[in-house]
Amino acid sequence: MQTQAGGPGAFANFDLNRVESPAFVVDAAKLRANCQMLAEIRDEADIKVLCALKAFSMHAVAPLIGEYLDGSCASGLWEARLASEYYDGEISTYSPAYKPNELEEICRLSDHVIFNSPTQIGRARLILENAKLMGGHVSVGLRLNPMVPTGEVERYDPSAPGSRLGFPIDQLTEEDMEGVEGIHFHNLCEQDFEPLQATWDKVFDAIEPWFGQLKWINMGGGHHITRADYQREELIEFLKDAKEDTGAEIYLEPGEAVALGAGILTGTILDTGFNEVPFGITDVSATCHMPDVLEAPYRPAMLGEEPSRDKPAIRLGGPSCLAGDVIGDYHLPVPPEPGQRFAFLDQAHYSMVKTNTFNGVPLPSIYLWDSETDALELVKSFEYADFRDRLG
């Protein structure tokens, strides 16, 4: 999978020695610029935009995000709680399945609760009715599987054959839509406008009989709207047409687009060696700090890397015992020696939320930097107790 990271941006001038290692550094100014761009599209198209917490849930910047976006979307009870505690605006919650003992609180916290199938809605009917009797305002949605594969990597494609995500669109009946006020589909992953149009062409035909009944349509995330080459003018016109054609409120819930290009992950070379190729062991772990490197897989871009034919690349890997904890081969912008600092680009989204402590590998600290003012704040650091207490 090819990384969609852009250039280094303001991080080209950031001194990596100002922070601990390893560490995530998030640029507040870039977040602000991304959110402002999303808000401008929201205003021009007259839609609503939510921040997907599954991709970026650094609640220290929730006030910043709240200045621009209309709320947040959650993937279950804990994210819904986080949204209610720290984020302004609406809360939309979707999970492939809900535990009955959690659904009551999810309904209390959420404006929209989206179910994965009509049978789930049927089983939850009593809980939903009780929520309304208690004065709740929850609106019920159904996630559809458009069955339009668009992704580069099948495991990240909700429309891949056999997908468990969403109700297959070719099975939708009038009975399934009883009591449904909204439709949700999420079919993209780091993509531009054309896959959205292809998805909507399929969804439009399937849900057209319920225009008038539907109060809202959530087109999910995976839209790389803040990427430099995204077709934003086409998106605006598309969203205007969708709202006019359906008579429904239109929602987008980008996660990556909020934090795209807004964060780096810094690290340090701990040791070097040679085994057919030069290698370096670092305090950054693909397994623990950037799982998508192995799951996708993909090669994260490095700050300041300059490919060269004159010197060999060095294979960087983490400190865990997993043989596959390999990040990739790089031409370092610094000497390949212990103690040298480096950083990977575009690590604010997904990397931060997916970190783990396998092998007792420490979690990266988290810093908030403002590239416009140069203010730097340590938001969170992790200690041994964070690892010890996880498993009791």
Question: In the chain, what are the domains?
Answer: 9-25+262-391 (2.40.37.10), 46-259 (3.20.20.10)
> pLDDT at residue 1 above 80?
no
Best CA proximity match to 124, nearest among 94, 95, 99: 99
CA distance 142 to 318: 42
Nearest to 308 by CA among 328, 293, 329, 282: 329
CA–CA distance, 27 with 7 (Å, rounded to integer)? 14
Amino acid at 279: F
- Residues 16-42 have pLDDT tens digits of 999 999 999 999 999 999 999 999 999
Please work out, in degrees rounded to the nearest 5, the angle formed at the alpha carbon of residue 92 by the alpha carbons of 263 and 166. Answer: 95
Query: Which two structure tokens, joined as six digits, stand for 203?
Result: 């969804």
Confidence (pLDDT) at 133: 85
The closest alpha carbon to 133, from 100, 108, 169, belongs to: 108
Q: Is the peptide bond before 291 cis (omega within 30 degrees of 0)?
A: no
d(CA 167, CA 117): 5
Is the distance from CB of 211 to CB of 178 less than 8 angstroms?
A: no
Burial class (CB in 10 A: 0-12, 13-18, 19+), 137: exposed
Note the pLDDT of residue 272.
98
146: pLDDT confidence band, cut at 50, 70 and 90? Answer: very high
Please give the Cα distance from 328 to 6 (Å, whole number): 18
Q: Which residues of 367-377 are buried (b: 16+ CB within 10 A; e: fewer)?
A: bbbbbeeeeee
User: Of 349, 342, 376, which is closest to residue 263 (Cα–Cα)?
Assistant: 349
Provide mean pLDDT across the span 103-113.
96
Spatial CA neighbour of 95 closest among 26, 160, 180, 184: 184
Percent of the chain with pLDDT over 90: 93
Q: Is the model's pLDDT at 306 over the cut of 90?
A: no
Helix count (H) and strand count (E) of the chain?
Answer: 13, 17
* Whole-Å CA distances, 34 to 37, 160, 225, 380: 5, 30, 9, 23
Give me the sign of the Cα torsion angle 76, 81, 84, 88: negative
Q: Nearest CA to 229 among 184, 192, 197? A: 192
Which has the minimum average pLDDT: 37-51, 252-266, 304-318? 304-318
How far is the C-alpha of 25 from the C-alpha of 368, rounded, in Å?
A: 6
Comparing 190 with 183, which gets the higher pLDDT?
183
User: How would residue 3 be classed by pLDDT, with cut points 50, 70 and 90?
Assistant: low
pLDDT value of position 132: 84
User: What pTM was estimated for this model as a whole?
Assistant: 0.96
pLDDT in tens, 324-375: 999 999 999 999 999 999 999 999 999 999 999 999 999 999 999 999 999 9
- Per-residue pLDDT at 376 exceeds 90: yes
Q: How far apart are CA 272 and CA 282, in angstroms?
A: 9
pLDDT at 59: 98
User: In the numeric block, which tokens belong to residue 81?
Assistant: 């709680």
Give the whole-angstrom CA distance, residue 79 versus residue 73. Answer: 8
Helix-, strand-, coil-residue percentages of the chain, each rounded to 5:
35, 20, 40
Q: Is the confidence at residue 151, as pLDDT, over 90?
A: no
pLDDT level of residue 246 (50, 70, 90 thresholds) = very high
Both ends of the chain: CA-CA distance in Å? 37
Look at residue 310 and tell me whether its pLDDT is greater than 90.
no
Neighbour count for residue 346 (Cβ, 10 Å): 26
Q: What is the pLDDT of residues 247-296, one digit of tens each?
A: 999 999 999 999 999 999 999 999 999 999 999 999 999 999 999 999 99
